[in-house]
Amino acid sequence: MSNVTYLPWVSPDSDDESSTAMAAAERPDAVADALIHDDELARLDTLVIRKLTAGDLSSGEVRSLLIAHGLPERDAEEWLDRYQRLGYVNDERLAELLVEQWSERKGKGRGAIASEMRRRLIPAQICASALADLDDDSQTDRATELAVARARQLTKLDRTTAERRLSAFLSRRGFSGSAARSAIRVALETTLDAG
């Protein structure tokens, strides 16, 4: 059975305990520095795991977090590779989740979702792939649903004002101009003209 040690200058295969003791006696500051450094790294790893447990992070967010806490960039890449191998970090999964959450649950359009993905530091090619699943028809349908619901609140306004407010509303939600125009036309026809 081989010896196990966490001391950086001791070889785990060394059977000579006296040489280990002498090495530790000669370098007490190195032992203290190594232990402090190991404690800091363990705390950083715990911090990252805790954040990943609370919610998905992109590879860019994890890299930024590691570097912000003093880990050199080369080491940050190694740690990130380990988190990816373990399945803790997966940009494709996160991008798909954001598309689902932001389009279906929050009623956001392609532009708002793309902006959120950029803010979350997801690579551009992964963003484009995830957004490709959002077809124009589904975006127009979602914009129409939102516009009809919003137009019900604007029944006391004249058509031009209601149109302007609906346009601003849909624009803030990240819908394209063509989806917004189509949705506004349908919403005003069904809500304002009917009232």
**Per-residue model confidence as pLDDT tens digits over 82-106:** 999 999 999 999 999 999 888 888 8
Q: Are 186 and 120 in contact (CB under 8 A)?
A: no
**Residue 55 lies inside a defined structural domain of this protein:** yes
Residues 66, 124 within the same domain: no
Does 44 reside within a domain? yes
* Number of domains forming the structure of the chain: 3
Give the range of the structural domain holding residue 38, as residue numbers without chain letter.
17-85
C-alpha torsion angle, residues 149, 150, 152, 157 (rounded to 10)? -160
3-state DSSP of the chain: CCCCCCCCCCCCCCCCHHHHHHHHHHCHHHHHHHHHHHHHHHHHHHHHHHHHHHCCCCHHHHHHHHHHCCCCHHHHHHHHHHHHHCCCCCHHHHHHHHHHHHHHHCCCCHHHHHHHHHHCCCCHHHHHHHHCCCCHHHHHHHHHHHHHHHHHHHCCCCHHHHHHHHHHHHHHCCCCHHHHHHHHHHHHHHHHCCC
Q: Same domain, yes or no, for 73 and 32? A: yes
Write the CA distances from 191 to 10, 100, 166, 177, integer angstroms: 78, 28, 12, 21
Are 106 and 75 found together in one domain? no
192 has a pLDDT exceeding 90: no
Task: State the pLDDT at residue 33.
Answer: 45
- Do 95 and 61 belong to one domain? no
Please give the residue that has the higher pLDDT: either 22 or 102: 102
pLDDT interval class at 7 (50, 70, 90): very low
Tens of pLDDT, residue by residue over 120-158, are: 999 999 999 999 878 777 888 888 888 898 988 888 888
- 3 assigned to some structural domain: no
pLDDT over 70 (residue 13): no
